[in-house]
Amino acid sequence: MRSFDGFVCIDWSGQAVARPKGLAMAFCKPGTEPPALIAPEGGWSRAAILEWLMDSAKQGSNILIGLDLSPALPFVDAGGYFPGFPAPEHARALWALVDEVCSGEPHLGVTSFVDHANYSRYFRRHGGREGAAFGGGAGRMRVVEHRQRGSGVSPVSCFNLVGAAQVGKSSLTGMRVLNRLSGTVPVWPFDIVPATGPVIVEIYTSIAARAAGLRKGLSKIRDAAGLDAALGAFGSQPHTPLPRYTDHATDAIVTSAWLRHVHSDAELWQPSGMTPEIAHTEGWTFGVR
């Protein structure tokens, strides 16, 4: 596998505000130097992160970027993203659709999409509004999410927009960003990984937390000692103390160190369960074998 000059983790957020508190970014170089937060004054916006990613492409930055979001909706289980309704047939077309429907919405938000007459019936929304096509239960899952559930982590359906663990809006806002990055930053496994330059992979911070030895239900780090223990599991030196320990900051720091630790594992780039169809329509979470 190719080498990288840096490893970035971006903890994402779908909150419909200009600067979501959940956005966090951490960076580390090869070796054992601890990751550090990249934090602009006033905090990140999704648009600012998009600009940072575009600048990385312009500069040819040789970095591996982990985005904590689902880059696509379930497709394989029902033969389409929105069964029974005309819909995109691959992930890039889905990204373009979400971005087009939400084109007038500020902050790269996606309320226009989840409330849209054609698509809202596939989502479970607040106020007991479960669309007729949601399917009941926990909701539809991607192939890789079913595989994750068998390995000790608990992903949530992107069609579920209710509850603290919901990731639907976060993932849909991420699709708007990925659409605007099209042709500038390759996204694995939808694109071929180039020999140089930045590459984006989907990550799930809970996978890094489990690899660091944190038990299910106790995967959030909120103190310096816990953060250093997790970093040590990946061969990292202790971190520089933070002014404030938040789930988002520590998730980004730990997962960037994890990316550095595991990125050279060839099996993670060619997981046994990922078919060409899955790679084209649903994508795959880096770190899931």
On whether the CB atoms of residues 282 and 142 are closer than 8 A, the answer is: yes
pLDDT over threshold 90, residue 201: yes
Instruction: Catalogue the long-range contacts made by 241-244 (C-beta closer than 8 Å, 24 or more residues apart).
Output: 242/37
**In the Cβ-directed half-sphere of 270, how many Cα atoms lie within 13 Å?**
5
pLDDT at 59: 97
Is 217 exposed, middle or buried (CB count within 10 Å of its CB: 0-12, 13-18, 19+)? exposed
pLDDT at 184: 96
Q: Is 250 helix (H, G, I), strand (E, B) or coil?
A: helix
* Mean pLDDT on 142-152: 88
> Binning pLDDT at 50, 70 and 90, where does residue 286 land?
very high
pLDDT at 149: 82
pLDDT over threshold 80, residue 218: no
pLDDT at 152: 74
* Mean pLDDT on 164-186: 94
* Mean pLDDT on 24-51: 97
* Mean pLDDT on 164-191: 95
Q: pLDDT averaged over the chain?
A: 95
pLDDT at 219: 65
Which distant-in-sequence residues (6+ apart) come within 8 Å of 62 by Cβ?
3, 4, 5, 6, 196, 197, 198
- pLDDT above 90 covers a percentage of the chain that reads 89
Q: Indicate the pTM of the whole model.
A: 0.96
* Mean pLDDT on 226-239: 98
Q: Token pair 């070796």 is at which residue?
A: 31
Summarize pLDDT for 108-143 with one digit per residue, the tens: 999 999 999 999 999 999 998 999 999 888 899 999
pLDDT at 18: 95
pLDDT at 217: 65
